[in-house]
Structure 1
Amino acid sequence: MLHQKPRRRCEGTAMGAIILDLLPGLGIGPFSLGMPISEAFSQIEKQPNIYDVVHVKYYDEEPLKMDIVISFPDHGFHLCFDPWSQRLRLIEIYDVKRLQMRYSTSLIGGPATLATFIAVYALFGPTYPGVYDGERGVYTLFYPGLSFAFPIPSQYTECCHNGGVELPLEFPDGTTPVTCRVSIYDSSSGKKVGVGSLMDKASAPPLPVGSIYMEEVHVKLGEELFFTVGTQLIPFGASPQDVWTELGRPCGIHQKQVDQMVIHSASDLRPRTTVCGDYFYNYFTRGLDILFDGQTQKIKKFVLHTNYPGHADFNSYAKCNFVIYGSDCRQSLFSALRYFNCIFFYKLEIH
């Protein structure tokens, strides 16, 4: 499913005119490998004059099967997020003429500076011979955390067979291929990432030690939540003071609203919203809401959010990585529910 978030283009903002700093193995411009999707959206919102046309793509039938992709068609690149962790795993520049990249003090790409094989080799230095994909007619040159794909004309495919390529690549007629795709990926695992099936090898870098992003939250039905990184334990019946002590200040607090159908006349059926005494603590960065009873001041419900693409709450909460346990057994129900919950539940409410 394709979603487009249109914004009005400001005068003087030309397509493909932006310059982004290229950091091999780390990212490009404000987008860093491993960043959560919410941080990427935050960067986009900070620069609406630049990122004024944004497409968000995902597979709504099986959202864990394919990446969540944020695409910038005016600038010829997109961000690929792992569907489970929702962290940036791969950056691809698929139209190099639309985006100018700055590496150190030099520029490459864009409408004026062609990213030819010789230009790439001169800027990034010598490297090992690349890989030729005869089926696609593409030769990929690899650097740590960075790869360049070059289309090879059919009359010159013999130049690339059997690893006999002399670098930098130049054809017998004196021409050199121009980059058709640039991939930026984490190189800590030693993998090489390029076009086609090689693209699937990209993965987000490891999280920093102590990070609470995608922290496992163990849910014991009817009893408690346990946060595995910080070892906090929040049981049903806990007070607001208990929660502040364990999880810190909430990101927000709001009163619960209740929709009631009030009949005013036979032809006037209008929903009315009233405010009850119950209230929520919102922990957006943990993907968690906690509901307190307005009379007893005790926890009566937990709401765990999956940050499901397409839902109204998408990008309001980080994804909560919860594991469900039955109240009368020690065995986790996670393996059976992990796939099911993330596909069919926008949020899980535990009373």
Structure 2
Amino acid sequence: MTNPYSTLEFDIHPGTSLGLFEIGTVFSYYNFPRLISKFQGSSLWTILETLRRLQHQYPQVDIKFDPDSSTTTPILIHLRPHISLLFSGLHQRLHTISIHSLQTSNPPIILKYKDTVLSSSKDEVVLRRVSVNRTFGPTYPSGSGSDDLKYPGIWFSFEEDSGGGGVTTTTTKVAENHRKGKEIEDRSNEVKKIMILQKCNDGKIQDPLDGVTECNVMHGDIERAIIKVHDGIRLYFSPLSTTNKPLHIRLHQTTAQDLTLDLGPPLRIHYKEDERMTIHSTENAEDDTNDESDYFYNYFQHGLDFFISGSTHTVKKIIIHSNIPGSPLFQRYKRCNWEIEGEPEDDEDDTPPRKRFYDRFETISHFLSPKETPPSMVLNRTDDEDGLQLPNATTRLYGYDGIILEVLESSQVVSVTLF
């Protein structure tokens, strides 16, 4: 009988990737005319965008995160039943790839290493300890009291849920006086789980809170964005070094052409402005009209929007997104690691004070306005979506001199607008 599920086939690259899922980069194919993009850095946003276009291959996608501290804690994506992807909390980069349920055939999964089939639930090829030893050679003892085989960039576990904190199935034991029989049993032990992670010299797995070590495939990705009120934003690209100058995008100076030359063409150009906020403007809205409509340059892959004047074609506003799980804007934009920079204490101060995207709203608000918190306005992003309900659909807008913060009830800042 023909299996109704399409077979998943992956090449394993220790320390680097499982098929298209790479620690450091991922290929993404977008439904834009003649556009095939390879976005630098395997961000949470990029991989979810890729999965959205591969629903026939990955119909069951679960996202798990800590709702109380989703800005800084790791995020886990389950592609049931075979793959789990762990992302670092701060930078939302792919940190660890886990493959499990190797013999589950719904759908079948085939794993290859250098053209050698390691495991195939379709052809009933079972990966055992002896096969790992033959393919990858000798390795040091795990040293953690487990039977795992640990090689640089890849681990093999013989337990159902090794390290998961739940009930585990231990390796079958035989009588001590049958040592030879135990060795035979060990050789035939079935691999239950495979983990792919960055190579570390000490053989230890990296803490996902520490993020992913910078590697070549991340070069060109925005690593940090410094916000300066009334000025603009400075973008620092990977690799971070003292010789690489940041890209300075200035309000009312940088043009749309400048953005295209420096950042590439936007993924979308949006010509409709949300005019609901104009009622709060101190200027006469009729006097501010242009012969040509203002428009947005949307760089979803960078977590940035630029609102551009229709007459001068210079940047009027910059919107920076935090991509916080559980928020109304989650997965619309990649996380931009922003910092708001204050004034230095003196002319010789090379380290002016800054507040980062993971700081609580109260801390950032006091930084921007030490005397008092400005009044807020309530924004419900589901008002235009009939029938759509979100657990945290409502945010609050706090306006300061030259900057607006959009804040969740949990005091996390989901976006910053410079004007």
TM-score (norm 1): 0.75
Deviations 1:64-113 (Å, cap 9, x if unpaired)?
A: 44321121123x22111112111111001132323431112322234322
Q: What residue identity is the alignment partner of 2:194?
A: V
CA, structure 1 residues 260+157, in 2 after alignment: closer, same or farther (shift >3 Å)?
farther
SS in 1 for 2:97: strand
Contact 2:305 / 2:320 at 8 angstroms: preserved in 1? yes
Q: For the residues of structure 1 that align with 2:342 and 2:144, how far apart are their CA atoms?
A: 52
Corresponding position of 1:192: 203
CA, structure 1 residues 250+170, in 2 after alignment: closer, same or farther (shift >3 Å)?
farther
**Candidates 11, 20, 25, aligned match of 2:15:** 25
Contact 1:22 / 1:102 at 8 angstroms: preserved in 2? yes
Q: What residue identity is the alignment partner of 1:14?
A: Y
Q: Aligned-pair distance for 1:294? A: 4.2
Q: Aligned-pair distance for 1:212? A: 3.5
Q: For the residues of structure 1 that align with 2:339 and 2:251, how far apart are their CA atoms?
A: 17
**Candidates 274, 286, 300, aligned match of 1:257:** 274
Corresponding position of 2:90: 84
CA, structure 1 residues 246+213, in 2 after alignment: closer, same or farther (shift >3 Å)?
closer
CA, structure 1 residues 82+337, in 2 after alignment: closer, same or farther (shift >3 Å)?
closer
Q: Is 1:55 matched with 2:62?
A: yes
Corresponding position of 2:231: 223
Q: For the residues of structure 2 that align with 1:157 and 1:81, how far apart are their CA atoms?
A: 42
Q: Is 1:326 matched with 2:342?
A: yes
SS in 2 for 1:86: coil
Deviations 1:144-197 (Å, cap 9, x if unpaired)?
A: 2111112444745989xxxxxx9xx9725745322222110111x324356xxx
Deviations 1:103-148 (Å, cap 9, x if unpaired)?
A: 1232223432222211221222222333342xxxx31111121111
Q: For the residues of structure 1 that align with 2:175 and 2:99, how far apart are their CA atoms?
A: 24
Matches within 5 A, 1:72-221: 72-74=79-81, 76-98=82-104, 99-111=109-121, 112-133=124-145, 138-151=146-159, 152-153=170-171, 155=173, 171=182, 174=185, 176-187=188-199, 189-193=200-204, 204-208=212-216, 211-221=219-229
CA, structure 1 residues 48+259, in 2 after alignment: closer, same or farther (shift >3 Å)?
same
Range 226-235 or range 79-88, more displaced? 226-235
Corresponding position of 1:347: 415
Range 85-94 or range 202-211, more displaced? 202-211
Q: Aligned-pair distance for 1:324? A: 1.1
Q: For the residues of structure 2 that align with 1:201 and 1:127, how far apart are their CA atoms?
A: 27
Q: Is 1:289 matched with 2:288?
A: no
Q: For the residues of structure 2 that align with 1:45 and 1:86, how far apart are their CA atoms?
A: 18
Q: How many correspondences in the alignment?
A: 310
Q: For the residues of structure 2 that align with 1:319 and 1:252, how far apart are their CA atoms?
A: 17
Give unmatched runs, 5+ long, in structure 1.
1-10, 160-165, 262-275
Contact 1:89 / 1:205 at 8 angstroms: preserved in 2? no
Contact 2:44 / 2:87 at 8 angstroms: preserved in 1? yes
Deviations 1:271-310 (Å, cap 9, x if unpaired)?
A: xxxxx94321222232111123445654332100112223
Q: For the residues of structure 1 that align with 2:176 and 2:19, how far apart are their CA atoms?
A: 38
Q: For the residues of structure 1 that align with 2:194 and 2:61, how far apart are their CA atoms?
A: 20
CA, structure 1 residues 157+91, in 2 after alignment: closer, same or farther (shift >3 Å)?
farther
CA, structure 1 residues 302+245, in 2 after alignment: closer, same or farther (shift >3 Å)?
same
Q: For the residues of structure 1 that align with 2:248 and 2:114, how far apart are their CA atoms?
A: 48
Identity %: 22
Q: What residue identity is the alignment partner of 1:108?
A: L
CA, structure 1 residues 55+335, in 2 after alignment: closer, same or farther (shift >3 Å)?
same
Q: For the residues of structure 2 that align with 1:115 and 1:170, how far apart are their CA atoms?
A: 20
Corresponding position of 1:266: none
Contact 2:89 / 2:209 at 8 angstroms: preserved in 1? no
CA, structure 1 residues 337+227, in 2 after alignment: closer, same or farther (shift >3 Å)?
closer
Matches within 5 A, 1:305-316: 305-316=321-332
Q: For the residues of structure 2 that align with 1:82 and 1:46, how far apart are their CA atoms?
A: 23
Contact 2:46 / 2:334 at 8 angstroms: preserved in 1? no
CA, structure 1 residues 55+193, in 2 after alignment: closer, same or farther (shift >3 Å)?
farther
Give unmatched runs, 5+ long, in structure 2.
25-41, 160-169, 238-244, 279-291, 362-406
Q: For the residues of structure 2 that align with 1:53 and 1:44, how far apart are their CA atoms?
A: 10
Contact 1:96 / 1:182 at 8 angstroms: preserved in 2? no
Range 57-66 or range 290-299, more displaced? 290-299
Q: For the residues of structure 2 that align with 1:307 and 1:182, how far apart are their CA atoms?
A: 29
Deviations 1:25-55 (Å, cap 9, x if unpaired)?
A: 1111111112222332243234322211111
Corresponding position of 1:300: 316
SS in 2 for 1:177: coil
Deviations 1:300-325 (Å, cap 9, x if unpaired)?
A: 32100112223343333222122211
RMSD between superposed Cα atoms in Å: 3.5
